[in-house]
Structure 1
Amino acid sequence: MGSTSTGEDEGDAAGRGATSGVQRGACIGVHRGRKVTAGRPPRPMASSQAPSDESVPDDVAGRARTRSSTRGGGVGSQSAPGAAAPGATSKPSGEGADSPRRAVSASIGVEGASGAGRATSGTASQPPVGKSCMARKRKAEATNTAPSPKRTTRASSRADKATSSGGAQGDATAEFDEAQKRAEQDVRKKGSAMKLSKINENLNADQKGRVASVGFGGLLEVKCNNIPEKLSLWLVNNFDTNKFELVIPQRGTIKVDDVAIKRVLGLPMGANLIDYEKKSYSETFIEFYKLFGHENDQNAPTFVEVEKWLRSVGKELADDKWLKVWLMFAISSFLCPTSSTKLCVRAFHSIAIIEEIHGYNWCKLIVDRLIKGIADFKNGERKFLSGCLFFLTILYLDSLDIGDIVNRGLEVRAAAWTEKLVTKVCAMDRVSDSQFGKLQLKPEYSCVTLIPP
C-alpha cells in the first residue's frame, strides 16, 4: 500500500491482469470470430496466456480452438513460452515474451501506432481484447464525427446548387433592373411621333383641315417616326439647363427656345401663356372627363383607349369633340410626354374654347416642359426623361452644316427630315458608339472662326 512496490507485486498484478484479459479476449474472440473475414486471423497469444479449461467453458473453449486451428495461427498454434518470433531480435532481460510487462501488453492487446491491430515487433499478434476494442470504438467515434465523403459531396452539391441558383437569380435580377432602367430613360418610345403618325396617316381632308385651322398643321408634316436614342441621350448630357442651350464641344451652341420650336414644328406662338400647374383651371376637369366618357370615375383615359376611339368611332368625325380628342392625344403623347400611360388634363383648359387655341403660346409650353424634364433628370429628381426629345434631336440635326443633302426650302423643318435621312446624318456625325459631334455646325451657331485659305 506504500508509494513503492516490489517486482513480485508487479508480477502478480500482471499475471492477474493477463488472466482476466485472456478470459475477456477468449469470449470476445469467440463472439467476434463470426464477423472476422477470411484472410484476417485473430491475433495469436502466448501459451502462458492461453485460456484454461477452468476459466473458459468447455464448449466455448473448444469452438475457439477449432476456429483458431482451422484459420492457421490461433491459440492452438502459439509458440512455446520464451520462444522468439521468427525474425525478432533478442530483448534485454525483463522485456522478453514471457516477462510480466510483456504479458500484460500482450493480454490487453496493445496495438501499433496505425491502430490496425498489428502486433509489435518481437511479439505474437493478440486477439482483439480490452483496451483494443475501446481504442477501435474511440477511433470509430472520431471517424463518425468527421464528415463522410458522401455527406461532404452532398453538402458541396447543395452549396453549388445554391450558388448556381443565386447566381442565375442575381443575373436575372440584374438583367431586369437594366431593362427597366433603359425603358425609363428611353422616353422617345412614349414621346416619339410613331403613335401620332399612325393616327395622322388615316385622317381625311376635313380632319386635316380642322387641325390646320387651330395652328397644329405642322404636326401633320412630320416624316420621321423614330429618332436615335443614343443621340437623344447625348444631347441631353450636353444641354445647359441654366442658359437653355445645347453646348456642342468644340463646335458651338444652339439656343433652345420657343422660336426654335416654331421653326421645327410650326406651332402657334401666341401672346397668351399656358398655365400648366396641376390644380389650375380645375373647373374644366369635369368637361375633360366627360369628353372621354369618364365623368363618373373621373379617371384620365389611357392612350390605348383614345387610339381605339380615333380609329373607330372618331374615324369619320371632324367636329369639335374629335378635334379636342386629337389635340389632347397629340399634346400628351408627343409634345409634352411623360412616363404615364394616360392623357394629361393640365392643358385641357387651353383647348376648351376652340377659337382661343391659336392665341396661346404653345411653343413656350413645349420648351418649358422639355427643359424641366431634362433638369429633373440630371438633378436626380426623376429616373426618366420627359419632354419632346423629338424636337431637340431634329433641332440639332437641322443645325449641322451638311450641304444640300437636306431640303432647306421647307418652312416646317421637321418636314425635311425623313427617317432615312436622320439615320444617314447621325452616322456621319458619330464619333463613337455613344458620342457625336463630328460634323460642323452652321455658321450662325458655330463658335469656330473659319479662316479663309
Structure 2
Amino acid sequence: MDLGGLLNIGACTMPVDLSQWVMKCYNHVKSELVIPNRGKIPVDVESGGLPNSGLKVCYEMKMYIIKTINEEYCFPGTNAPEKTAWCKMIKHMNGVADDRFLRAWAIVAFDCFLAPTTGLKVSPRCYPTVNDIKLLPRTNICQFVVDQIRVAFSALGNKKSVCCCVFHLVVSVIFCYDEHNTEK
C-alpha cells in the first residue's frame, strides 16, 4: 500500500530532548528545519517516504462513513471507539491481511502516527480516506502530514508540545543527513 515505511518504526518513544530540539528548529512559515550552523532542510512531500502524489486526504467528519465503518467493525453508533479497542480488534484478526484488516490498521496509523491526537479515542476524521482502501496508495499522504505539521506549529504559541507527526520531522533530518553524508 506504499505505507511500508510506517512498519519500520518501532514501538518506542522519542527522547524529550530530541523532540523539543526538533520543534525549536522547525520554521512553520517556510516549512523547513533550520539546523543551527548546519543549514536548512525542507519539510515537504519529497522528505517523507510516504505516497506523495494523487488524491487529497479527506480528513473530515462524514457521519455516514463514520457510521458505516463503526458498524463494519462492530462499534455501535457514531461515537469514536478507543484506540485500545482498535488495537485489540486488530490483534484478534490474527494476521489476516484482507481489506478489512488494512483499513483498521490504516485508521490506527493515521490516528497514532500520521495525524496523532491527544485523545484516547481514534479520530474518525480519517475514516473517509481509508473507506476505499484501494485508493490509499494513490492518496497524497505525505502532503497531508506536511500540512498537519504546519497547522500544528502555527497554533503552538507558548505550548511545549504539538499534536502532529514530530517523527516525520526527525525522519526528514535523518533522510537528509544520510543522503548528503558519506560518513555515517
TM-score normalised per structure 2: 0.87
Q: 1:286 to 1:218 in 2, by over 3 A?
A: same
CA distance in 2, matches of 1:368, 1:331: 14
Structure 2 residue 14 is the aligned partner of structure 1 residue 231:
no
Structure 2 residue 52 is the aligned partner of structure 1 residue 269:
yes
CA distance in 2, matches of 1:300, 1:276: 15
Q: List structure 1 segments (4+ residues) > 4 angstroms apart after TM superposition.
A: none
For 2:124, the equivalent position in structure 1 comes to: 345
- Matching residue within 136, 149, 165 for 1:388: 165
Q: Per-residue CA shift, 1:43-79, capped at 9, x if unaligned?
A: xxxxxxxxxxxxxxxxxxxxxxxxxxxxxxxxxxxxx
8 Å CA contact retained: 2:47, 2:175: no
8 Å CA contact retained: 2:45, 2:143: yes
For 2:148, the equivalent position in structure 1 comes to: 369
Q: Per-residue CA shift, 1:288-320, capped at 9, x if unaligned?
A: 221332233x221111111211222x1142222
For 2:108, the equivalent position in structure 1 comes to: 329
Report the secondary structure of 2:34's partner residue: strand
Q: Which one-letter code corresponds to 1:246 in the other structure?
A: L
8 Å CA contact retained: 1:245, 1:256: yes
8 Å CA contact retained: 1:334, 1:388: yes
Post-superposition shift, 1:321? Answer: 1.4
For 1:192, the equivalent position in structure 2 comes to: none
Q: 1:221 to 1:383 in 2, by over 3 A?
A: closer
For 2:86, the equivalent position in structure 1 comes to: 306
CA distance in 2, matches of 1:217, 1:250: 33
Gaps of 5+ in 2: none
**Which gives a bigger RCO, structure 1 or 2 (Cα 8 Å, sep 6+)?**
2
Post-superposition shift, 1:273? Answer: 0.8
Structure 2 residue 145 is the aligned partner of structure 1 residue 358:
no
1:415-426 aligned at under 5 Å gives the runs none
For 1:118, the equivalent position in structure 2 comes to: none
For 1:290, the equivalent position in structure 2 comes to: 71
TM-score normalised per structure 1: 0.38
8 Å CA contact retained: 2:48, 2:171: no
Report the secondary structure of 1:246's partner residue: strand
For 2:30, the equivalent position in structure 1 comes to: 243
CA distance in 1, matches of 2:11, 2:176: 17
Q: Per-residue CA shift, 1:225-251, capped at 9, x if unaligned?
A: 332221111111121111111112222
Structure 2 residue 42 is the aligned partner of structure 1 residue 255:
yes
CA distance in 2, matches of 1:230, 1:316: 36
CA distance in 2, matches of 1:318, 1:251: 44
Q: How many residues align?
A: 182
How big is the alpha-carbon RMSD for the aligned residues of Structure 1 and Structure 2? Answer: 2.1
Report the secondary structure of 2:52's partner residue: coil
Post-superposition shift, 1:224? Answer: 7.3
CA distance in 2, matches of 1:384, 1:404: 33
The 10-residue stretch of structure 1 (320-329 or 216-225) with the greater mean CA deviation from structure 2: 216-225
Q: 1:383 to 1:248 in 2, by over 3 A?
A: closer
1:140-179 aligned at under 5 Å gives the runs none
